Amino acid sequence: MQQQFNEVQIPDLLLPLLPASPGSSSDDYEGPFKFKILIDQHRTRNSWIYSPILNKVFIRVADPFPIDFKWNPQVNNLYVRATPLFSQPQHAQELVTRCIPHTRATYETNRDVPQYIWDHVIRCQSVNAEYYGNKEEKRHLNVLVPLGVPRTGMNTVRLLYSFMCQNACHTGMNQKPFEVVFTLEDEGGTVYGRKKLSVKVCSCPKRGKEKEENDFFKKMSFHGAALPNKRRKTKKVGKKSFTVISALDTRQYTAKIRTSSKQNLIFLLKRAYNIMAGDLLRYGPNEELEDCLYDLEKQLGKL
Amino acid sequence: MQQQFNEVQIPDLLLPLLPASPGSSSDDYEGPFKFKILIDQHRTRNSWIYSPILNKVFIRVADPFPIDFKWNPQVNNLYVRATPLFSQPQHAQELVTRCIPHTRATYETNRDVPQYIWDHVIRCQSVNAEYYGNKEEKRHLNVLVPLGVPRTGMNTVRLLYSFMCQNACHTGMNQKPFEVVFTLEDEGGTVYGRKKLSVKVCSCPKRGKEKEENDFFKKMSFHGAALPNKRRKTKKVGKKSFTVISALDTRQYTAKIRTSSKQNLIFLLKRAYNIMAGDLLRYGPNEELEDCLYDLEKQLGKL
DNA sequence: GTACAAGTAG
DNA sequence: CTACTTGTAC
Ligand SMILES: [Zn+2]
Ligand SMILES: [Zn+2]
């Protein structure tokens, strides 16, 4: 049930509305090259899961994760740097490094890998990847990759990243959430664009996503347990009709849309959800909006 | 409820009936010096818990654990060696060593401790403790301590041990259960006696003990879920009377004992439990005995 | 002492 | 995917 909700696929056109990290979207900027990162969540058979609402990827350790980079105009001497940083302000200055056991020569993922890479949580599969930062000098570890140019017929360049420690690694990240900051740079290190992506590396990506999305909704609807009483009833007439209450301008509009199939109903509910989720994130906390989202969540949960 | 049952204090006279490790008591032998290890479970304020039925100590990492050693006749040039070994046969030959993070210089429990001790899961607080074994040569790590002579008026020597890794330490014991083999030796390494004690080092000793004792009872009473139907009813007349069914000779004897206080009732129930637990362990699986034990467990659980 | 989090086995 | 284990926070 809740699961179904989590399968929501946000249309690409809505993606730009979602901040890199909820509440701190101001850190993102596309800059003169309209720098974008795209996550191909429609691909099935992914071993990872992306939560658009959290702008967060849930992935297993060492699994390859593709990111498509987009920039315009197409100059060919740009680089993208991926730097992991702890998300919580109180830990933001701590270095994100691999844990002690994962940093050992005997660990299988370090075999045939140069030692200076062992400490890096983020690896990029590109042969041109260069690893920067220094644990002793307290400079954040990161990996820099030349973007080159998109293959003919494409307007993006895809890179494969992998995360070499779990968030739970005791002597490493030790449960602290982190995000990857992608910066578009030139050879001189000048930054032209920045995009953030939160990541959770764990054994059960699906479980983690569901948990964190639920927490997010609970936090958003800060009236918590009081909500169920306030919830508007969904009328069930004929096939199925449903109520959408918009709060963009404080007034509420009710949409009654008789849908022709369950699939269409779900599609519409999700669509409505995504639109209002975008609004919520752009305009900040708003009780009416949260009510609508909560309502939709419950409706989707029951389907 | 179950808790109360676990508070059972087995009288000292019953202790010898309990094997060092259920099902493998033959590995224990007292030898010419009648070598014994005694665990002072009556002492309150212990940070650790001992399960007589499992012959197992549940303890937090690095907590001091006292063991009283007893031998006769009283010669004064004997030593006791403590060697941790994995309990499961398929792991028995693997070395029990500390995990990678706990083996680092930066770990606080290694401060001011010679490096050759860092690998040892078992430490002894005695200044005369000597650490043997070798990880590279695959010789089991152990700690050897001269026993000296009991203080005047005592017939035992107390040593304090501590366990420097948790069973759960990923890169160390990694959840595998282990036991400590105590051997009574002379200067030449000749072994005169051997006693085993299972140990679980964890964050919640009480929880661990309850869990493992329950598992043990479930395994013992292999008829499992069928038992509740077969359970004899406890008659409640006057104060409280209870039924004890002995199975030593296959026939069942019912004891109806009217007790004068709840405390006395509990004492009697526990006593009965311990007697039959000893029988069970000496004579092996026996349905009637297990029924009686199960009955008593339930009765104690309700008090 | 309870509830949660997250790796793990089946 | 479910259930269990076990460290951890409150
Ligand atoms: Zn790690
Ligand atoms: Zn350890």
Asked if the Cβ–Cβ distance from A170 to B170 is below 8 Å, we say: yes
Count of A–B CB contacts within 8 Å? 13
Span CA (B46) to C1' (C4), Å:
27
Ligand lying closest to the C-alpha of residue B96: 2
Residue nearest to nucleotide C8 (CA to C1'): A203
Span CA (B212) to C1' (D1), Å:
26
Instruction: Chain A: give the shortest CA distance to residue B107, in Å.
Output: 11
Mutate to test the interface with B, among A97, A100, A108 (most CBs of B within 10 A): A100
Determine the distance separating the centroid of ligand 1 and the alpha carbon of B87, expressed in angstroms: 28
Q: Between these two residues, A98 and B243, which has the higher pLDDT value? A: A98
Q: Given pLDDT bands bounded at 50, 70 and 90, which one contains residue B59? A: very high
Q: Kindly state whether A148 is in contact with chain B, defined as any CB-CB distance less than 8 angstroms.
A: no
Give bridge partners of residue A36 from the DSSP assignment: A70
| pLDDT digits 0-9 by tens, B14-35 | 333 344 333 335 689 999 999 9
Q: Can you give the pLDDT at residue A43?
A: 72
The bridge status of strand A79-86 relative to strand A139-146 is antiparallel
Q: Cα separation of B57 and B46, whole Å? A: 11
Asked if the Cβ–Cβ distance from B104 to A101 is below 8 Å, we say: no
> Which H helix or E strand runs over B212?
helix B205-220
| pLDDT digits 0-9 by tens, B124-167 | 999 999 999 999 999 999 999 999 999 999 999 999 999 999 99
Q: Could you tell me the domains of chain A? A: 5-206 (2.60.40.720), 223-302 (no CATH)
Average pLDDT value for residue range B274-285: 62
Of B178, B209, B176, B206, the closest CA to residue B53 belongs to B209
Q: What is the pLDDT along chain A (303 residues), one digit of tens a residue?
A: 333 333 333 333 333 334 433 333 568 999 999 999 999 887 767 889 999 999 999 999 999 999 999 999 999 899 999 999 999 999 999 999 999 999 999 998 999 999 999 999 999 999 999 999 999 999 999 999 999 999 999 999 999 999 999 999 999 999 999 999 999 999 999 999 999 999 999 999 999 999 999 988 877 765 443 333 333 333 333 333 333 333 344 444 556 566 655 556 666 666 676 666 666 665 555 555 666 666 676 666 655
The bridge status of strand B191-201 relative to strand B122-124 is unpaired
Q: Can you give the pLDDT at residue A11?
A: 35
Determine the distance separating the centroid of ligand 1 and the alpha carbon of A59, expressed in angstroms: 14
* Strand C nucleotides within a 7 Å radius of protein CB atoms: 1-3, 5-8
Q: Cα separation of B261 and B17, whole Å? A: 29
Q: Kindly state whether A171 is in contact with chain B, defined as any CB-CB distance less than 8 angstroms.
A: yes
Determine the distance separating the centroid of ligand 2 and the alpha carbon of A63, expressed in angstroms: 27
Give bridge partners of residue A185 from the DSSP assignment: A79, A191
Q: Cα separation of A245 and A292, whole Å? A: 6
Chain B, nearest residue to A101 by Cα: B100
Average pLDDT, chain B: 78
Asked if the Cβ–Cβ distance from A101 to B101 is below 8 Å, we say: yes
Q: Can you give the pLDDT at residue A225?
A: 37
Q: Can you give the pLDDT at residue A279?
A: 65
Asked if the Cβ–Cβ distance from B104 to A100 is below 8 Å, we say: yes
* Strand D nucleotides within a 7 Å radius of protein CB atoms: 1-3, 5-8
**What is the complex's ipTM, to 2 decimals?**
0.70
Average pLDDT value for residue range B271-297: 63
> Which H helix or E strand runs over B161?
strand B157-163
Instruction: Chain B: give the shortest CA distance to residue A55, in Å.
Output: 31
Residue where the block lists tokens 């702890």: A86
Q: Given pLDDT bands bounded at 50, 70 and 90, which one contains residue B75? A: very high
Instruction: Chain A: give the shortest CA distance to residue B101, in Å.
Output: 6
Q: Whole-prediction pTM value?
A: 0.72
The bridge status of strand A130-134 relative to strand A139-146 is antiparallel
Q: Given pLDDT bands bounded at 50, 70 and 90, which one contains residue B267? A: low
Q: Kindly state whether B203 is in contact with chain A, defined as any CB-CB distance less than 8 angstroms.
A: no
Residue A24 approaches strand C within 7 Å at CB: no
The 3-state secondary structure of chain A reads CHHHHHCCCCCHHHHHHCCCCCCCHHHCECHHHCCEEECCCCCCCCCCEEECCCCEEEECCCCCEEEEEECCCCCCCCEEEEEEEECCHHHCCCCCCCCCHHHCCCCHHHCCCCHHHHCCCEEECCCCCEEEEECCCCEEEEEEEECCCCCCCCCCEEEEEEECCCCCCCCCCCCCCEEEEEEEECCCCCEEEEEEEEEEECCCHHHHHHHHHHHHHHHHCCCHHHHHHHCCCCCCCCCCCCCCECCCCCCCCECCCCCCCHHHHHHHHHHHHHHHHHHHHHHCCCHHHHHHHHHHHHHHHHC
